């Protein structure tokens, strides 16, 4: 389908999308996050074709989001586990789930609840500022050009 590459764009959103911007990847990530880790489990749970699953897993491994681990030689059995980079991507899933709960959930309420280890309560994520700790939504910020805002962010291309 000759897709436009996003990985060279001077935008962290675009570069994130280059890694998980196609729709199956976040769902694969979700499954691995909740413990569905083996190829055939993933395929069954997602209803994805094995070809596409295979492609996506390779992609995610190549981008250091997942690791393929052999948990049994003889018979050879494998599972996919999150890297640190992948675990941090799961934060994005929590935010997606929150938006989906608010705007797309049916009459029956949210399909999944999140219990916070620290307080033991069912809650959801809220965005706060890393500096002052107050709520920080998209509507609460100004967007300014940063040091990496050059046209082409290849190695060594230091911004203006």
Work out what residue 67 binds among DNA, its own copies, none; the CB cut-off runs from 5 to 8 Å by kind.
none
- Side-chain-side CA neighbours of residue 10 (13 Å): 15
Q: Which is nearer to its own copies, 4 or 72 (CB)?
A: 4
Site for DNA in 1-20 (CB under 7 A): 1-4
Considering only 35, 51, 109, 155, the residue that binds DNA (CB under 7 A) is 51
Per CB under 8 A, does 101 bind its own copies?
yes
Using CA atoms, how far apart are residues 33 and 93, in angstroms rounded to an integer? 10
> Residue 4 carries which DSSP code?
P
Task: Examine residue 111 and say whether the peptide bond preceding it is cis (omega within 30 degrees of 0).
Answer: no
Q: Which residues of 3-13 are buried (b: 16+ CB within 10 A; e: fewer)?
A: eeeeeebbeee
Considering only 11, 13, 34, 78, the residue that binds DNA (CB under 7 A) is 78
**Count of Cβ atoms closer than 10 Å to residue 27 Cβ:** 17
Site for its own copies in 23-52 (CB under 8 A): 23, 26-27, 30, 33-34, 47-48
Per CB under 8 A, does 2 bind its own copies?
no
> Residue 76 carries which DSSP code?
T
Per CB under 7 A, does 39 bind DNA?
yes
Q: Which is nearer to DNA, 50 or 149 (CB)?
A: 50
């Amino acid at each position: 389908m000759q897709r436009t590459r996003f990985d060279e764009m001077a935008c962290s959103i675009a570069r994130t999308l280059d890694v998980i911007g196609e729709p199956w990847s976040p769902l694969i990530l979700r499954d691995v996050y909740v413990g569905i880790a083996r190829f055939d489990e993933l395929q069954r749970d997602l209803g994805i074709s094995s070809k596409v699953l295979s492609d996506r897993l390779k992609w995610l491994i190549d981008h250091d989001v997942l690791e393929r681990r052999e948990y049994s030689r003889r018979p050879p059995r494998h599972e996919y586990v999150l890297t640190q980079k992948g675990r941090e991507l799961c934060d994005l899933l929590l935010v997606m789930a929150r938006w989906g709960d608010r705007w797309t959930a049916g009459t029956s309420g949210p399909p999944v609840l999140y219990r916070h280890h620290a307080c033991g309560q069912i809650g959801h994520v809220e965005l706060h500022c890393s500096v002052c700790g107050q709520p920080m939504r998209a509507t609460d910020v100004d967007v300014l050009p940063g040091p990496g805002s050059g046209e082409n962010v290849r190695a060594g291309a230091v911004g203006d």
